[in-house]
Amino acid sequence: MDTNKASAKDFFLHLGAMVGLYTVAVSFINLLFKVINKAFPEVGASVYGWGAGSEISLPVATLIVFFPIFVFLSRMVHKIYIENPAKKDLAIRKWLTYITLFVAGIALAGDLVTVLYKFLDGQDLTAAFFLKALTVLLVAGIVFWFYIQDIRDKVSASSRKIWSMGVGIIILVAIILGFSVLGSPQSQRLIRYDNQKVTDLQNIQYQVISYWQMNGKLPTSLSDMSAAQPYNIIPKDPQSQTTYEYQKTDVMDFNLCAEFNKENMTNNLYYGDGMVRVGIKGNIIQNDNWNHPAGRACFSRVIDPVAFPTQVRG
153-186 pLDDT per residue, tens: 787 778 888 888 988 999 999 888 888 777 777 8
Residue 48 has pLDDT above 80, yes or no: no
Handedness of CA 259, 261, 266, 272 (dihedral sign): positive
296 three-state secondary structure: strand
Identify which has the larger pLDDT, 1 or 127. Answer: 127
Q: Which letter does DSSP use for residue 242 in this model?
A: P
One domain for residues 260 and 279 = yes
Residue 285 has pLDDT above 70, yes or no: no
Handedness of CA 88, 92, 93, 99 (dihedral sign): positive
Query: How confident is the model over 9-31, as a mean pLDDT?
Result: 87
Q: Is residue 211 part of a domain?
A: yes
Q: Is residue 312 part of a domain?
A: no
Q: Which of 140, 167, 183 is the last residue of a domain?
A: 183
How far apart are the C-alpha atoms of 194 and 150, rounded to whole Å? 49
pLDDT of residue 41: 67
Query: How confident is the model over 213-236, as a mean pLDDT?
Result: 85
One domain for residues 42 and 170 = yes
Residue 52 has pLDDT above 50, yes or no: no
How far apart are the C-alpha atoms of 86 and 61, rounded to whole Å? 37
Q: Is residue 281 part of a domain?
A: yes
Handedness of CA 73, 83, 4, 1 (dihedral sign): negative
Q: Is residue 309 part of a domain?
A: no
One domain for residues 114 and 222 = no
Q: Residue 8 CB: number of other CB atoms within 10 A? A: 7
One domain for residues 207 and 238 = yes
Q: How far is CA 238 from CA 137, 201, 208, in A?
A: 43, 12, 20
pLDDT of residue 296: 93
H helices of 40-56, in order, are none
Question: Which secondary structure element, helix H or strand E, spans residue 33, and what is its range?
Answer: helix 8-39
One domain for residues 124 and 49 = yes
Range of the domain at 294: 190-303
263: closest CA among 53, 43, 37? 53
